[in-house]
């Protein structure tokens, strides 16, 4: 019989009053909403990338030895790992009723002990010890040797633990699939603890940050600059370039989110991201990343080798940013600004339309200013948060806020100056019959840069300024007006 329970107090009351049969509990996917092995690999890649070459050697003696060496080298911050609240609440209620709780996990015993020190829930720990990988039948044999067949209940969520449930008196399942619940119900009485929906396609789409795809419209700018937006063949090339950058950028966002897991989990807003919150399994991200990159570079090679080379430069630069450069003050924002300019250069190579140096410099100054807004906004969000002694965001400190404002506004105004100089040049007068309309764009850009910094200093911007602009009425009006004046100039 399958019991569905969304109110966790009901199950412990029923179980605890009947007997004192020990309850064995899995860790990954059950107590935690994440996989501790993948978490450790991410920590290794982030903090000790030179040690990645040692992984094959660790794996040769067996998976248990691999986990032991990994736990000794790269332990995730246990207190930041996302828990399944319903499961932890259930276990605390069982503990209060006097029930014996055993953490039975395939994770290494060093990591399992750290989890127990954080939660203070378990009476005993059964875990992998460097020789035996405590998973599946090995876990079953260990529990049967300790408590006998049907001498324990087992709470887990993975099909690999089917042999354990078969030997248990009662099977408790945390957020299982329907197929797994039916399968286990054939061998043992089943109770489903606080069923939650698994990750949906919308969750996976959110992890790709589709709102940020709007930044890739920059690949179309070279066509717009020479009045060829409605050239069918070139517009098709620009559309493919846009798609390639969307796929590539989403893959890089997943890499960035994986490497940023600890920092995101400390952040009051970023902790709700799909990977940081455990809403999407980390293994899914590891599968999606290469598929997105393969799709992006397949399109890039189809367009031209020059476009593929620029996309490769962009990818390399952004991965370096995610690994190290984001923690170097000012270098991080300069890298972001260059990344935007690379989009324009890539659009030029995809369409065969030569791009102006004026345009590239305008983008560098403008997006340098926007990147500084992003860093300034992160400091503002963290300022005053409980439990934070020293406000730090990446390589920046609270004392840097004044400097960020000065540099950001100056860079934004330099972008306006570049546009003004271009408007007054012979090139603009020759290309645009209504080039005088660009003076209006200069004024609107001056207003918009000032407006964004005003919103930032007031604490109104909590996200990427480009994303903020897409939902802010003042920004939308300014952008629409600039678009209208551009059309009139053309």
Q: In this structure, what CATH number is given to the domain that contains residue 319?
A: 1.10.357.140
Q: Which of 193, 224, 246 is the last residue of a domain?
A: 193
- Reported pTM: 0.85
Mean pLDDT calculated for residue range 156-169? 90
- Other beta carbons within 10 angstroms of residue 263's beta carbon come to 17
User: Is the pLDDT assigned to residue 15 strictly greater than 50?
Assistant: no
Q: Which of 147, 162, 193 is the last residue of a domain?
A: 193
Co-location of 121 and 268 in the same domain? no
Contacts (Cβ under 8 Å, ≥6 apart) of 486: 224, 437, 441
Q: Which of 178-192, 417-431, 453-467 has the lowest mean pLDDT?
A: 178-192
Co-location of 121 and 183 in the same domain? yes
Residues of the domain holding 293? 201-489
Q: Which of 168, 193, 218 is the last residue of a domain?
A: 193
Co-location of 384 and 266 in the same domain? yes
The distance from CA 243 to its chain's CA centroid, rounded to whole angstroms, is 20
User: Is the pLDDT assigned to residue 170 strictly greater than 50?
Assistant: yes
Band of residue 195 on the pLDDT scale cut at 50, 70, 90: low
Co-location of 147 and 113 in the same domain? yes
Total count of domains within the chain: 2
Co-location of 318 and 428 in the same domain? yes
d(CA 91, CA 97): 10
Co-location of 168 and 274 in the same domain? no
Q: What is the DSSP letter of 356?
A: P
d(CA 447, CA 153): 66
Co-location of 34 and 100 in the same domain? yes
For 338-396, the pLDDT digits (tens) are: 999 999 999 999 999 888 888 889 999 999 999 999 999 888 877 766 555 566 777 88
Co-location of 178 and 217 in the same domain? no
d(CA 451, CA 131): 62
Co-location of 310 and 339 in the same domain? yes
Co-location of 184 and 205 in the same domain? no
Co-location of 188 and 130 in the same domain? yes
Co-location of 364 and 392 in the same domain? yes
């Amino acid at each position: 019989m399958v019991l569905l329970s969304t109110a966790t107090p009901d199950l412990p009351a029923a179980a605890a009053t009947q007997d004192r049969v020990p309850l064995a509990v899995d860790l990954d996917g059950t107590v935690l909403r994440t996989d501790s092995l993948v978490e450790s690999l991410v920590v290794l890649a982030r903090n000790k990338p030179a040690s990645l070459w040692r992984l094959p050697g660790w794996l040769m003696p067996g998976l248990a030895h691999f986990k032991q060496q990994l736990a000794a080298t790269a332990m995730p911050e246990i207190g930041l790992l996302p828990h399944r609240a319903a499961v932890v609440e259930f276990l605390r209620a069982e503990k209060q009723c006097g029930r014996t709780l055993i953490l039975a996990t395939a994770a290494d015993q060093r990591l399992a002990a750290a989890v127990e020190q954080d939660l203070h829930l378990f009476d005993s720990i059964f875990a992998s010890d460097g020789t035996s990988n405590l998973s599946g039948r090995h876990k079953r044999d260990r529990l049967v040797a300790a408590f006998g067949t049907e001498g324990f209940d087992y709470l887990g969520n993975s099909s690999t633990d089917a042999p354990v449930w078969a030997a248990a008196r009662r099977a408790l399942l945390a957020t299982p699939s329907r197929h797994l619940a039916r399968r286990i119900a054939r061998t043992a009485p089943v109770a489903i603890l606080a069923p939650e929906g698994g990750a949906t396609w919308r969750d996976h789409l959110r992890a790709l940050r589709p709102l940020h795809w709007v930044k890739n419209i920059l690949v179309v700018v070279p066509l717009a600059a020479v009045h060829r937006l409605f050239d069918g063949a070139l517009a098709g090339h620009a559309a493919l370039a846009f798609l390639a950058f969307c796929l590539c950028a989403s893959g890089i966002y997943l890499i960035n989110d994986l490497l940023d897991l600890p920092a995101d989990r400390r952040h009051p807003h970023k902790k709700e991201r799909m990977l940081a919150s455990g809403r999407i399994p980390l293994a899914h991200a590891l599968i999606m990343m290469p598929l997105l990159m393969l799709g992006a570079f397949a399109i890039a090679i189809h367009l031209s080798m020059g476009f593929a080379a620029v996309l490769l430069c962009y990818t390399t630069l952004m991965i370096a940013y995610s690994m190290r450069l984001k923690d170097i003050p000012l270098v991080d924002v300069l890298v972001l600004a260059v990344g935007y300019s690379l989009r324009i250069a890539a659009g030029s190579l995809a369409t065969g339309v030569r791009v102006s140096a004026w345009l590239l410099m305008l983008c560098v100054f403008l997006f340098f200013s926007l990147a500084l807004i992003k860093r300034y906004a992160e400091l503002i969000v963290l300022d005053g948060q409980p439990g934070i002694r020293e406000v730090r965001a990446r390589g920046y400190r609270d004392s840097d806020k004044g400097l960020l404002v000065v540099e950001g506004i100056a860079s934004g105004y330099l972008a306006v100056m570049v546009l003004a100089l271009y408007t007054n040049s012979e090139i603009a007068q020759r290309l645009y019959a209504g080039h005088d309309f660009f003076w209006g764009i200069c004024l609107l850009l001056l207003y918009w840069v000032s407006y964004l910094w005003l919103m930032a200093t007031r604490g109104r911007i909590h996200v990427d300024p480009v994303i903020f602009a897409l939902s802010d009425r003042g920004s939308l009006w300014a952008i629409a007006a600039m678009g209208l004046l551009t059309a009139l100039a053309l």
